[in-house]
Chain A
Amino acid sequence: MLLLRPYFSSIRNRFFRGRRVSLRSGAILLFGLVLFTALHLISLRVIGYFHGQNELGIILSLKIFQMAWMIMFTMLIFSSMVSAVSSLYLSSDNEILYTAPVSDRQLFRMRYLTSFIYTSWMMVIFSLPIFGAYGTVFQAGPLYPVMLMLAVISTALTANGIGLAATILLVNLFPARRTKDIVVYLSLLFGILLYLIIRLMRPEDLADPDKFPDFIAYLSSMQTPALSLLPPAWATQILTGYLQERLIDGLAAGLLLLTPIVIFFAGEWLMGRYFFSGFSKAQESFGGTLSFACRPYHPSPMLRIFHKEARMFLRDSSEWSQMFLVGALIVVYLYNFKALPLERSPMPTEYLTNIIAYANIGLTGFLAASLAARFVYPSIGAEGMAFGMILTSPLPLQRYLFCKYLFYCIPFTLVSLILIIASNGLLQISGPMWWISIIIGLIITWSVLAMALGFGAMYADFKIENRAAAQGSFGAILFLFTALSAELVIITLVFVGNYRLVTSWLQGRPIGTTSLLLAAATLVAIATLAVIVSVVCVKKGIRSLQE
């Protein structure tokens, strides 16, 4: 317990400074509550819809229930492994703790609990409104909330224990930093695979009566139980049994509750047996033996900033490996357009494709905002304390941020153009919508980039250990909210300003001067709005950095 005191004190000091809940902590709490409620309501609606259909709907909803548990369990194991490598082997307090008379066992208990809280709290909290909705829809008995809570915590504890134990074994074979990389790759590959499988399975086909024979085959496969040797299978077995017939499977319950305890003790034994040799290896630098080629010096700040950004990105495996995910996202995104059943629409195809192309502007903007939250927003905080060197240099901050902006502008512009042009091609869009989607898509992408940099500067956390951690911060959420609000306004303006122009084109009527003028005026208004929002955000960011 004594070892956990610094951890809990840091949390208290972070959220309840001066024994009061700060405005920021209150805002985060409120945001969490809104998200919690929204998740619960959406889940109620979706599960209620399935449940209201027929026997098939109920089976399908329970199958989704099983899948959700399995996904949650696997994700928790991987995130526990990533967190365990950092907390067990690379944590900065290791030097204090491991030189003190603290046993491996005590250290394991402390890391077990902190790793559980770090990796599971979000999953545990946000799985409750979804799984809880099943209880409401199925009108489960009074024991359901208690059973659900126990099942979620027990499954999360098991995943955490497996993650820690696997990490101790892995680090004994590889240096800690490499293990971290391996775990990152594995979890990425898992994510991509899962996404591709779900997407390429085309779950929308299940609602297609034409595919009914396939569906029967699918249904028979659905009836087979999930891997019954895994804790999520036991959890779903207990919960679905209780949801449907109010029966509790004693064997599954016993297995579910006993497994985390067994794994905990196994982990403790592994810690005593293998930790020290792994910890010792973790301190051996492997970067020291590598030498990198040098390029001649040119006194151009822009060139050097580009070079620095590129090097820092390419030499950090947790950064560049995200590119696989972006690639998979693009493939799936475009595949969606290819898979659209346009021919079955009651509306003329040309109208429908234009509406989809219009919606695609918003989707591309949303994707750009998400990618900016992951890569651009944390880029200033990621400079770390070395940012002081940039602040003391004679390079104006405006120029520095502009160079950073240009650096990110190139890949973001490319991604947006690929998404818009390729999806326009798949939809066979021509005429005004082709141009509108490209111009507006680029305006949104460029302004979102500037906003990400501005918010990144306003809420820069120079002590953050990796960029991914900044993604869930208050500033990042605020950025996303602002970017999506601005995008919504722009998309609405696009509709208002171009409706007449596009309908005239689609109906083959001559395009009037009024329509053209209205479209041009809207474009100017959108560009002005984007520039104003971008400049305001960046200026505020610069001011915060200077202060």
Chain B
Amino acid sequence: MQTILEITNLTKTFGDFTAVNDISLQVGAGEIFGFLGPNGAGKTTTIKILAGLLQPDSGLITINDRSLADHPLACKQDTGYIPDRPWLFEKLTGWEYLQFVASLYGLPEQQFNSATNTYLELFDLSDWPHHLIESYSHGMRQKLIMTSVLMLDQPLMIIDEPMVGLDPKSARIVKELFKQKAAAGTTIFLSTHSLEIAEELCHRIAIITNGTLRVTGNMEELRNTAGRSGKDIDLEEIFLELTGSRELQQVIAALKGQK
């Protein structure tokens, strides 16, 4: 499998605080890679570095065999980024926003027209493209950003919390779209707090705590690392085991006892 994204010894500090500590991993073409960790573990920092929003202190990032540091524009051309919060230009209409994004990436006119219509229809936005974004709900904004990235059809998609604000129907559609894109060869690097989504979608998962990569692998490899091989335990159990949250079980038991 061809490697699309390669991270080597990535480190990022903010003052005395090390947000990302010597992370290395590889993601192949057509793979959906889950990036999990508790709050403040370093997921968003890593994602922002991959998207070209933050400069790392050290380490190397390669996208499609090109170094992000040396060829930032070519790497960005190949990467679609969906942030965890849908920041948009409030005074543009949805359609104008899509046109703006498409022009930044040089999307051909034919591809723009067919792709946008397809995704707007899928996300129930076809009645809204000519309204100002300031009148959109949170979910509509999230779907508009998804449309803007999906229409570009790039080899790598970096997604921070994909399902925040989406209704169940849209969430289902997004999951199916991700599977379809991956089957067609697109690499998806996603960070999520929803372990069900990670378990359902991801071919491989990495768990990060305190800026350090704890484990990388498929579900079976994760079970082995957690010392529960062969047992039918779900990702939540593995996550709690590997992130050192076992004491949570005691807290839950104590809370149940209070009732």
Interface stretch, picked from A59-67, A292-300, A494-502, is A292-300
Q: Are A298 and B95 in contact (CB under 8 A)?
A: no
Tell yes or no: B87 within 8 A of A by CB: yes
Which residue of B55, B93, B103, B104 is within 8 Å of A298 (Cβ)? Answer: B103
Taking a contact as CB atoms under 8 Å apart, the answer to whether B89 and A312 are in contact is yes
B113 within 8 A of A: yes
Check: A207 CB closer than 8 A to any chain B CB.
Answer: no
Among A291, A312, A383, A389, contact of B131 (Cβ-Cβ < 8 Å): A291
Q: List B contacts of A307 (CB < 8 A).
A: 96, 99-100
State whether A388 and B87 are in contact (beta carbons under 8 Å apart), knowing that A308-B92, A394-B105 are contacts in the complex: yes
Query: B104–A394 contact, CB under 8 A?
Result: yes
B100 contacts which of A308, A384, A391, A394 (Cβ < 8 Å)? A308
Q: Tell me whether B112 and A392 are in contact (CB under 8 A).
A: no
Contacts of B96 in A (CB 8 A): 292, 294, 307-308, 311
Tell me whether B211 is interfacial, beta carbon within 8 Å. no
A395 B130 Cβ-Cβ under 8 A: no
By the criterion CB–CB under 8 Å, are A288 and B130 in contact?
no
Chain B: CB-nearest residue to A396:
B73
Query: Taking A287-B131, A392-B79 as contacts, is the C-beta distance between A299 and B95 under 8 angstroms?
Result: no
Is there contact, CB below 8 Å, between A299 and B88? no
Closest to B87 in A: A385
Q: From residue A527, how far is it (CB to closest CB) to chain B in Å?
A: 31
The distance in angstroms between the C-alpha atoms of A73 and B181, with both chains bound, is: 63
Docked CA distance A386–B104 (Å): 14
Q: Which A-chain residue is minimally distant from B116 (CB atoms)?
A: A297
Flag whether B56 is at the interface (Cβ < 8 A).
no
Residues of A within 8 A of B99 (CB): 297, 304, 307
Inter-subunit contact B93/A285 (CB<8 Å): no
Task: Give Cα A394–Cα B78 distance, bound, in whole angstroms.
Answer: 9
**Residues of A contacting B76 with CB < 8 Å?**
392-394
Q: Which residues does chain B contribute within 8 Å of A294, judged by CB atoms?
A: 93, 95-96, 129-130
> B224 on the interface (CB 8 Å rule)?
no
Q: Which B residues are CB-close (under 8 A) to A386? A: 87-89
- A547, B87: Cβ atoms closer than 8 Å: no
Mark interface residues in B31-69 (1 if CB within 8 Å of A CB, else 0).
000000000000000000001110100000000000000
By the criterion CB–CB under 8 Å, are A287 and B130 in contact?
no
* Bound-complex Cα distance A292 to B129 (A): 9
Complex interface: chain A residues within 8 A of B51 (CB): 388, 392
- State whether the Cβ of B81 lies closer than 8 Å to any Cβ in chain A: yes
B47 to chain A, nearest CB (A): 11
Chain B residues closer than 8 Å to A391, beta-carbon distance: 52-53
**Binary interface encoding of chain A residues 227-241 relative to chain B, with 1 for a CB under 8 A from any of its CBs, else 0:** 000000000000000
Q: State the CA gap A294–B135 with chains docked (Å).
A: 17
Given A287-B134, A304-B99: A297 in contact with B109 (beta carbons within 8 A) = yes
Mask of A288-326 contacts with B, CB within 8 angstroms, 1/0: 101111101111110111011001100110000000000
Q: Is the CB of B89 within 8 A of A383?
A: yes
**Cβ-based interface call for A507 (8 A):** no
Q: Name the residue among B83, B88, B89, B108 with the largest chain A CB count within 10 angstroms.
A: B89
A388-404 toward B: CB 8 Å interface, digit per residue (1/0)? 11111111100000000
A317, B148: Cα distance in complex, Å: 28
The one of B91, B104, B108 that contacts A393, using a Cβ cutoff of 8 Å: B104
Q: List chain A residues, Cβ under 8 A from B88.
A: 386
CB distance from A484 to the nearest CB of B (A): 32
B7 contacts the other chain (Cβ, under 8 Å)? no
A292 pairs with B74, CB closer than 8 A = no
A304 touches which of B104, B131, B135 (Cβ 8 Å): B104
Closest A residue to B78 using CB positions: A394
Residues of B within 8 A of A383 (CB): 89
**Cα distance A547–B73 in the bound complex, in angstroms:** 16
Within the complex, the shortest CB–CB distance from B103 to chain A, in Å, comes to 4
Of residues 264 through 285 on chain A, the ones whose CB sits less than 8 Å from some CB of chain B are 285
Verify A392–B53 contact, CB threshold 8 A. Answer: yes
Q: List 22 A-B contacts (CB under 8 A).
A: A287-B134, A288-B131, A288-B132, A292-B93, A292-B132, A294-B93, A294-B129, A297-B109, A304-B99, A305-B100, A311-B96, A315-B91, A316-B91, A385-B87, A386-B89, A388-B51, A389-B87, A392-B52, A392-B76, A392-B81, A395-B73, A396-B73
Further pairs besides A287-B132, A389-B101: 17, Cβ < 8 Å: A287-B134, A294-B130, A296-B109, A299-B107, A301-B103, A301-B104, A304-B99, A308-B96, A311-B96, A386-B88, A388-B83, A390-B104, A392-B51, A392-B53, A393-B76, A393-B105, A394-B74
